[in-house]
Copies of this chain bind each other. A is one copy, B any other.
Amino acid sequence: MTQLQINEVAPRDGFQIEATFVPTAAKIRLIDALSATGLARIEATSFVSPKAVPALADAAEVVAGITRRPGVGITVLVPNLKGAERALAAGVDEINLVMSASDSHGLANLRMTSAQSLEQLAAIVEAVRAHPQGRELFINASLSTSFGCPFEGAVAEARVLALVERQLALGVQGVTLCDTTGMANPAQVARLCEAAQARFPGIPFTLHFHNTRGMGLANALAAWQAGITRFDASLGGLGGCPYAPGATGNVCTEDLVHMFEQMGVATGVDLDALLAASATLPELVGHETPGQVVKAGKADRRYPMPAR
């Protein structure tokens, strides 16, 4: 059975919406601790405008400060050409471009329609490949609202697949299908995962779920049953979407790892080390996290018999 590849996104997708600025040294310590757990990949930060996302204004310092470990890919979110140049200068293993499958989410989040985003993706890929440090860089693209848009509603599977085809034609090497606001259900996940893999064999698809409506792990299960082995997840379940207030965040890394390890599906991750890292989050962000295994303990936890 193929080992899962978990891409930890809390340092980017989690911290970007926190009210508290997590100090650069603490970010570096956390990423180093995460690297030591055996995660396949860490999305360390975003080379976004510091004005747009002050929480990640220290992107270059973070990438420069972390300890690189063989086998742990460091990726960063790159929202535009300027971000790509900063990422190339910083030196990373992978970049993650981003666009929305729905025009209204693209306009709200990136001020671009899907068509405009594709033009920008083309320009970024071209610039990266022309750069001496960019020739071998792995280029991934995340496709937000692949399972539905909080403004438009349903996003047709045919539209999602057509956008993936365009991304790949531009030179994108891997695609992350994102359930940005937790609208996906397991039946839909199975359908889209099967269709994407059938149409684009050999392309590494990553699935990105949110637990907004409690279906995060059920959707991950459905994706895995459909042959997906790459998942985004966020330590402690940090993250979320500003357009879905009151909702919990991304699918929680340690809860995801726990479920699959309990099922006998190898993740390569040291769950105890991951839980220890998660336990440091409340002090960093100033609030409890939605993760459940960090509170309840692993399924093999034993309790003493109550005295009667």
Residues of A with Cβ closer than 8 Å to B? 104, 107-108, 111, 148, 150-153, 182-188, 211-218, 220-222, 242-244, 246-248, 252, 255, 258-259, 262-265, 291-293, 295-296, 298-306, 308
Contacts and interface: CB of A to CB of B under 8 A. Distances in A.
A263 to B, nearest CB: 4
A216 B259 CA distance: 11
B246 A151 contact: no
B264 A187 contact: yes
A304 B217 CA distance: 28
A91 to B, nearest CB: 34
A190 to B, nearest CB: 9
A306 B150 CA distance: 11
A221 B296 CA distance: 22
Contact of A244 (B215, B243, B244, B296): B296
A214 B217 contact: yes
Given A221-B218, A252-B214, A185 B299 contact: yes
A108 B308 CA distance: 8
A244 B112 CA distance: 48
A306 B108 contact: yes
Nearest to A190: B263
Nearest to A296: B247
Contacts of A244: 296, 303
A263 B186 contact: yes
Nearest to A300: B153
15 contacts: A152-B302, A185-B263, A186-B221, A186-B259, A188-B263, A211-B214, A211-B292, A213-B299, A214-B217, A214-B259, A215-B217, A215-B259, A217-B218, A243-B303, A247-B296
A263 B221 contact: no
B183 A243 contact: no
